[in-house]
Structure 1
Amino acid sequence: MSPILLTLLCLTTTGATNAQELPKNSKLLISQLSAPPLKGMVSSGNQISLNGRTLPGTWLQQSGKAGQVTTHISDGPFRQLIGVTFLNSNSSAKQPIQWFSTATTPLVLATRLVGAYRYLDITNFAQASGWQIQTNGNILVIVTPKAQITNIVQSQEPPEASAPLQQTRILVNLDRPTPWQVAQGSAIAKPQTPSSDPDTPTPKPTTPPNREWTITLDGIADPVLIERYTPQPPAAAPTLLPNLLKQLLPVTPTQPIPPAPEPLIRQVQVVKNQTIISLSVPFGLSPQVKTVANPNRLIINIRPDPLEERDITWAPGLRWRQHYVNLGTERFPVVWLEVNPRKFGLTLKPMWASPDGLGGTAPLIQTAQRYLAVAGINGGYFNRNNRLPLGAIRRDSQWLSGPILNRGAIAWNDSGQFYFGRLTLEETLITANNQRLPILFLNSGYVQSGIARYTPVWGATYTPLTDNEIILVVQKDQITQQLPGGKVGGTTVPIPPDGYLLALRANATSAASQLPIGSAVSVSSSTTPSDFSRYPHIIGAGPLLIQNRQIVLDAKAEKFSNAFIAEKAIRSGICTTATGTLMIAAVHNRAGGYGPTLAEHAQLMQQMGCVDALNLDGGSSTSLYLGGQLLDRSPSTAARVHNGIGIFLKPRS
């Protein structure tokens, strides 16, 4: 087995260290370990110590000419921990970058794909930057030169072609280049001034609260800057005498004084040799951070459209793109991956959070790394309370979870063929005397009256999801037990590895008398449309957006609520184009406002060239993953999800 790939198998946040801990039916994962070893590989690991702080990040070192050791870091931590900007590239072997350098002469780093990651050769870059690098077991230790932050200046910039509105700019001056990170925090609650009239309720805020953002630099700010941006204590409460005078003197009506705008820079502080600049950014705006040289500066522009256009060939057949797509006067930031699964050894597989069954959620970045996926996107819906699936999951021709409510789904095979439609799974329990009973749900968290079936992929056991179920144990096509389910969550029933359980709910419990112990039973299964049965992999979500280039959105028919239909929210989508390319896309909040409605999402996907398109779970679930990083958002703002669609590199022969 390749040493580097064995190491990469361990590079997971769940701690999986051997093939037995991987999900069932994951032959693809095991096959990735058969790739040839990396020539000259000296060491590798999954942690990076940056100026004393140990953080997750994959790396490797390789011996080169004349015994020189070269250092390679995967591009996720290189971007997010160091603050490097990736520039457009049409070669997967080279990545131009910008880091305290000029855009006219960008630095170009060599890249290589190993396992599920792309690595950048940072040897010369680190040497030119004065970094000290050494290894300590699986930790790559990086120490950068000490930097000083000499000034922080806020100004208003006039409108320009790329930003038609006036924007606020913050300049952070440094004596030398240094790593920096940007992170989005939580909403900042606005203090409410109580009404002076006890009979008048305190007015509710009419605008969404500001959002906290932090810019963290490896450097020490001048004490004058810390003092300048230290929050002042609140004003003292009025004394009793002025209040008495107000009651005795005639009251002259006055216009209410509007509250002073909240300062953009909330605080500057130094914590453990890092300077943290905390910002209070109004709703609809976000920071766009760039670096320049001569003098060395961070330029932080606060603008409604911070997304920078990108078109990067990340691997053969895998392209990372992002830009704004216009719908009338609205501008929507879209980040997407274009995948050509027919020509370049890329395959797609469903993936789910738990290695021990279908219950559970995890950040997509964690699930993708556990599966050794090169890229991925969140998939279908799930119950956030019990973390159970609410839609179709089929992998390698085996149903993991059945569809619900005739909702939209995507199906595909390993040859790069795809099929979109609204999907129903029709399972029937057939008795020895040819009695037929419909099975309405398969391994599903969607709970309704009727018969539901639970197979070993659900997990080792089943716990009743409704009161007073009757549980039938089926082994080797024969009913071996009838058990009372009791109260919700009160009983745990083992699922036989050579069979399944039938949960009879509500009015379906009467069928138990027709299914005595010892009865022989079988299950027939088919899909509507029947075309779905021809594909080994399926993910269900919905609603279906586009078929044959035409918008076919009908969220009511797929039983989505009116509130869901009307909501303006961040969206995920998957589609195919006329050239057979697959696109997985994340659409975030429009410039200055909220995300698209479902109707707008369909129009955006159509405008991007989609022939067939499906809406995936969205909102905080939306996550677009590539090589150890989320492309569309900060990991801290991404919710835990149940399942997703992974993109894998086929092992080379």
Structure 2
Amino acid sequence: MPLPKPTRIFKLISVAWLTIALQTTTQRAAHPQPALDPPLSASPPPSISPTPAKPLTVEPPSSPLAQLPSAQLGNQLGNQVSLNGRTFNVPWSQWQTAGTSRIGLSDAAIVQLLGAQLLSTPDGASQPIEWFPTAQRSVLTPRFAAPVRYLDITTLAQQHGWQLQTTGQNLRITTPTARLVGIRQGQQPFGDRIVIDLDRPTPWQIDPQSQEFVLTLDAQTDPSFVQNFKPRATAQVKSIKVEAGANQTTIRLRIPITQRSQISTLSSPSRIVIDLRSDFLPTLNILWTEGLRWRQQTLEVGSARFPVIWFEVNPRQPGLSLRPILPNPATVTGTASLIQTARQSQASAAINGGFFNRNNQLPLGAVRLKGQWFSGPILNRGVFAWNETGEMKFDRLTLQETIVLSSGQTIPLATLNSAYPQAGISRYTPLWGSSYSTLSDNEVLITAQNDRITDQRSGGKAGSAFAIPTNGYLLVARGATAAALTINTPLQLSTTTQPSDLSFYQNIVGAGPLLIQDRQIVLDAKSEKFSDAFIREMAARSAIGQTATGTLLFVSVHNRVGGRGATLTEIAQIMAQLGAVNALNLDGGSSTTLYLGGQILDRPPRSSARVHNGIGIFLLPSP
């Protein structure tokens, strides 16, 4: 049955919250709040009492990941799109189907370049979109080549008279010249509305900034219109400025930093509608590919309403794997935006991970990759651990290393590969990098090679660099005696973990505090030695969780409607609503970032801070 028209699509741009999302409705004037999905959990909230953790093993399924081999996928893969003369660095692909050449754009290109929006779908083999919608909804066919999903735009281009041309790594898209006809302002019960009238559908892009919303149209505007346009200032719209180029128009709206903007497109005639309103996150449920579902919904916690965007990940899916990701695998030093790290590591999806020191760009918590400790745990804080056999565990972790001298004397070590300058003796291995820079004054540096101490010296002022031997490690004494660690002393190293079974998990990312364990909220930030200021903070939150069926939840939560972000208690309650039986809080605030298929889902990339590590989701063909 044809859809009622006109159908509206809403792209939501939060200037304070800095996020982009969309919604649809079938009414011409009113914009009702989209109905929420059925409650995610009908059971009462978990009680607050700790219980011992047990690993949950998930069995692999029989069906492989639906993916075309790269040889079948296309004649070309490119990373540059020229849209009406402007160049964007986004992935595209060309392939053959039944003897016909097809062109696909990545999800990010569809949304960011065209202004289209992905709609909910239970079918990973089709992706409905909205873009100046008509009675016949546009449905694009996905083609997956790790780590990118491409959507076939060939038919869409034909319907709208676009010209597509490939040259090397570049895809040139030329759309018919559109014209801006007018701009109208009006009042609705929810607030201000601005309507941009066009003579035909045309690509558009958005750029939400600190107190300005910028809309760029691939459309001509008569200079006389720009000269004569007299916008009306309101409480929500401080100013509207129109800038006309040859075949491009830029509209700049000055709005309060707390105001959120919502964009919709209409057809017959073509219009772009900007609404300023407080309800900003629609329900979305997209099966992005087998094993990975993209969800978003506003959830209630008490009287507060939070925008929640999350992934549901099936770790049993053949070809799907998880891995800690770092900006530079050669050293633990360094930070980068999550989008940069995810792209570099070839992850299809990712969430930011653990804490770090922003000044020296070093980790403050566990990062274990394929059995190797790039950074050890600190302060018995919460971790998420997993291995390739399907076992996963959420718990608090302590790593205890001990030096055993030939005399039988034992010396406990404080930390391993850590930027947390704890009193005692710490150990640094080549995984830390080629050198170690002292974190405090007057440290004592002891070099161990081939199970024997070969050097001991004073570190002097903080910041002095010392080489880490490739065939050994560096011991660093801070406020502790190193008298027994003399040159030529033989030594052995023993390692245990608490709980002991966590030593068998090959991959670990630490953050904290632990939120939920075995269906119980076990939040105890003080025991994990978080500061009072951190405990009281209301902020954007990232978290990872596991449901009773073994599904993993990668969760991002930003500012509540009309207020600030979530408390630790509230993020624990949100994870429980999503069905988590185990959950861990990750680094939050400006670090909170959720990445999928080349784009950041929960905030504009420019607002995403540099982070030290993340958890990547990798989708590869089955062997």
Q: Could you tell me how far apart the structure 2 residues matched to 1:503 and 1:620 are? A: 32
Q: Could you tell me how far apart the structure 2 residues matched to 1:107 and 1:562 are? A: 51
Please tell me the residue identity of whatever aligns with 1:495.
Answer: I
Pair 1:340 & 2:314 matched: yes
Q: Could you tell me how far apart the structure 1 residues matched to 2:382 and 2:489 are? A: 36
Residue segments in structure 2 that go unaligned for 5+ positions in a row: 1-64
What is the SS of the residue equivalent to 1:125? helix
**Structure 1 position 573, deviation (Å):** 0.6
Match of 1:60 among 90, 93, 100: 93
Please tell me the residue identity of whatever aligns with 1:390.
Answer: L
Q: Could you tell me how far apart the structure 2 residues matched to 1:221 and 1:522 are? A: 76
Match of 1:492 among 460, 465, 487: 465
Match of 2:477 among 504, 514, 517: 504
Please tell me the residue identity of whatever aligns with 2:472.
Answer: G
* Superposed counterparts of 1:213-612, under 5 Å: 213-227=213-227, 261=235, 263-271=237-245, 273-489=247-463, 491-505=464-478, 507-508=479-480, 510-511=481-482, 513-612=483-582
**Structure 1 position 136, deviation (Å):** 2.5
Deviations 1:329-358 (A, max 9, x none): 221000000001113431111111123300
Worse-matched range after superposition: 286-295 or 412-421: 412-421
Pair 1:106 & 2:130 matched: no
Q: Could you tell me how far apart the structure 2 residues matched to 1:90 and 1:142 are? A: 30
Q: Could you tell me how far apart the structure 2 residues matched to 1:99 and 1:264 are? A: 28
In the alignment, which residue of structure 2 is the partner of 1:179?
Answer: 203
**Structure 1 position 265, deviation (Å):** 3.8
What is the SS of the residue equivalent to 1:524? strand
**Contact 1:44-1:61 at 8 Å conserved across structures:** yes
What is the SS of the residue equivalent to 1:39? helix
Worse-matched range after superposition: 491-500 or 320-329: 491-500
**Structure 1 position 112, deviation (Å):** 1.4
Worse-matched range after superposition: 270-279 or 331-340: 270-279
Please tell me the residue identity of whatever aligns with 1:522.
Answer: Q
Worse-matched range after superposition: 135-144 or 602-611: 135-144
What is the SS of the residue equivalent to 1:63? strand
Q: Could you tell me how far apart the structure 2 residues matched to 1:361 and 1:225 are? A: 47
**Contact 1:429-1:436 at 8 Å conserved across structures:** yes
Q: Could you tell me how far apart the structure 1 residues matched to 2:167 and 2:76 are? A: 10
Please tell me the residue identity of whatever aligns with 1:175.
Answer: D
Please tell me the residue identity of whatever aligns with 1:486.
Answer: G
**Contact 1:285-1:305 at 8 Å conserved across structures:** no
Pair 1:152 & 2:188 matched: no
What is the SS of the residue equivalent to 1:141? strand
Q: Could you tell me how far apart the structure 2 residues matched to 1:650 and 1:64 are? A: 22
Q: Could you tell me how far apart the structure 1 residues matched to 2:235 and 2:544 are? A: 41
Does 1 or 2 have the higher relative contact order (CA < 8 Å, sep 6+)? 2
**Contact 1:461-1:495 at 8 Å conserved across structures:** yes
Please tell me the residue identity of whatever aligns with 1:44.
Answer: L
What is the SS of the residue equivalent to 1:170? strand
Residue segments in structure 1 that go unaligned for 5+ positions in a row: 1-31, 159-165, 187-210, 233-258
Q: Could you tell me how far apart the structure 2 residues matched to 1:226 and 1:594 are? A: 38
Pick the structure with more helix per residue: 1
In the alignment, which residue of structure 2 is the partner of 1:123?
Answer: 154
What is the SS of the residue equivalent to 2:595? strand
Task: Call closer, same or farther: CA 1:231–1:471 in 2, change over 3 Å.
Answer: farther
Please tell me the residue identity of whatever aligns with 1:293.
Answer: S
In the alignment, which residue of structure 1 is the partner of 2:101?
Answer: 69
Worse-matched range after superposition: 516-525 or 274-283: 274-283
In the alignment, which residue of structure 2 is the partner of 1:86?
Answer: 118
Q: Could you tell me how far apart the structure 2 residues matched to 1:49 and 1:434 are? A: 69
Q: Could you tell me how far apart the structure 1 residues matched to 2:277 and 2:517 are? A: 36
**Structure 1 position 648, deviation (Å):** 0.9
TM-score norm. by structure 2 comes to 0.86
Task: Call closer, same or farther: CA 1:272–1:479 in 2, change over 3 Å.
Answer: farther
Q: Could you tell me how far apart the structure 1 residues matched to 2:73 and 2:273 are? A: 40
Task: Call closer, same or farther: CA 1:541–1:272 in 2, change over 3 Å.
Answer: farther
**Structure 1 position 534, deviation (Å):** 2.2
Please tell me the residue identity of whatever aligns with 1:148.
Answer: R
**Contact 1:574-1:584 at 8 Å conserved across structures:** yes
| C-alpha RMSD of the superposition | 2.1
**Contact 1:307-1:333 at 8 Å conserved across structures:** yes
Task: Call closer, same or farther: CA 1:262–1:335 in 2, change over 3 Å.
Answer: closer
**Contact 1:311-1:321 at 8 Å conserved across structures:** yes
Please tell me the residue identity of whatever aligns with 1:70.
Answer: R
**Contact 2:73-2:143 at 8 Å conserved across structures:** no
Q: Could you tell me how far apart the structure 1 residues matched to 2:315 and 2:246 are? A: 47
In the alignment, which residue of structure 1 is the partner of 2:8?
Answer: none
Q: Could you tell me how far apart the structure 2 residues matched to 1:349 and 1:168 are? A: 46
In the alignment, which residue of structure 2 is the partner of 1:652?
Answer: 622
What is the SS of the residue equivalent to 2:571? helix
**Contact 1:379-1:541 at 8 Å conserved across structures:** yes
**Contact 1:285-1:592 at 8 Å conserved across structures:** no
**How many residues matched?**
558
Match of 1:143 among 154, 171, 174: 174
**Structure 1 position 579, deviation (Å):** 1.2
Q: Could you tell me how far apart the structure 2 residues matched to 1:176 and 1:445 are? A: 57
What is the SS of the residue equivalent to 1:369? helix
Please tell me the residue identity of whatever aligns with 1:606.
Answer: A
Please tell me the residue identity of whatever aligns with 2:172.
Answer: V
| Percent of aligned pairs with the same amino acid | 51
Q: Could you tell me how far apart the structure 2 residues matched to 1:81 and 1:230 are? A: 29
**Structure 1 position 228, deviation (Å):** 5.5
* Superposed counterparts of 1:629-648, under 5 Å: 629-648=599-618
Please tell me the residue identity of whatever aligns with 1:171.
Answer: V
What is the SS of the residue equivalent to 1:514? coil
**Structure 1 position 496, deviation (Å):** 1.4
Q: Could you tell me how far apart the structure 2 residues matched to 1:303 and 1:605 are? A: 27
In the alignment, which residue of structure 2 is the partner of 1:8?
Answer: none
**Structure 1 position 94, deviation (Å):** 0.6
Task: Call closer, same or farther: CA 1:389–1:272 in 2, change over 3 Å.
Answer: farther
Worse-matched range after superposition: 345-354 or 263-272: 263-272
TM-score norm. by structure 1 comes to 0.82
Q: Could you tell me how far apart the structure 2 residues matched to 1:53 and 1:92 are? A: 31
Q: Could you tell me how far apart the structure 2 residues matched to 1:346 and 1:330 are? A: 35
Please tell me the residue identity of whatever aligns with 2:392.
Answer: F
Q: Could you tell me how far apart the structure 1 residues matched to 2:228 and 2:577 are? A: 48
Please tell me the residue identity of whatever aligns with 1:177.
Answer: P
Task: Call closer, same or farther: CA 1:56–1:230 in 2, change over 3 Å.
Answer: farther
Please tell me the residue identity of whatever aligns with 1:304.
Answer: S
Please tell me the residue identity of whatever aligns with 1:631.
Answer: L
**Contact 1:48-1:55 at 8 Å conserved across structures:** yes
